[in-house]
Amino acid sequence: MASVRESVGNAFDYVLGRNTLIGVASLMLLVLSGYATWHGMHDFIVGVSETVPEDGSTMKVSSDVLVIGVVVALTFLMWLALREVFGAKRKFTDRIVMFFMYAFLALWSIGFGYGFWWSLISGQEATRTGLAGLQEDARDASAAIAARLDAVRAQLDNVVSWSDSQMTREETSGGSCGRPSGAGRGPPV
């Protein structure tokens, strides 16, 4: 009975590490990393799989199943590689190889997780900033249009004033059309 309890204790200590709190924190970070990687990988795979190839074939495996499989494998390999890097009684060359494997897998996970974190944190702010810029551009364009309309209105006012002055001149002295004529409105057309 003592050996079973000791075996379970050793297995528990082996899975979670020497310090239970560090093991629990590692598992929480692993879950967060796994979810972020899943979301980014899901966006990547679903975006690719939703476009139907020219031959009309579709993926045989559900996108979610494929994403879950890749994420589970990726996070498990990261955990295993990190565990081997810091495990007791490992050769130095094995530690170096496993460290590079972990670094590669971590960068891959971060790459796919980036899309998730961008949409969660920075994507909304970038959208707000972009919309604010577009709003400012629209405000500038409407101000330019208003200025042009004011210029056209001023030109029309000048034309109306000139036309009124020509009409007054024609009624009082005549000759506004370039021909010598008497005062008055002129003949009806």
Q: Which residues are CB-neighbours of 141 under 8 A, at least 6 positions away?
A: none
Tell me the DSSP string of 85-137.
HH-TT--HHHHHHHHHHHHHHHHHHHHHHHHHHIIIIIHHHHHHHHHHHHHHH
pTM: 0.39
Of 81, 79, 82, nearest to 71 (Cα)? 79
One-letter identity of residue 139: R
pLDDT digits (tens, 9 = 90+) for 134-148: 899 989 999 999 999
Q: d(Cα 94, Cα 88) in Å, to the nearest integer? A: 12
User: pLDDT by residue (tens digit) across 87-146?
Assistant: 778 889 988 988 998 898 888 888 877 777 676 666 667 777 888 888 999 899 999 999
The residue among 13 and 51 whose pLDDT is bigger is 13
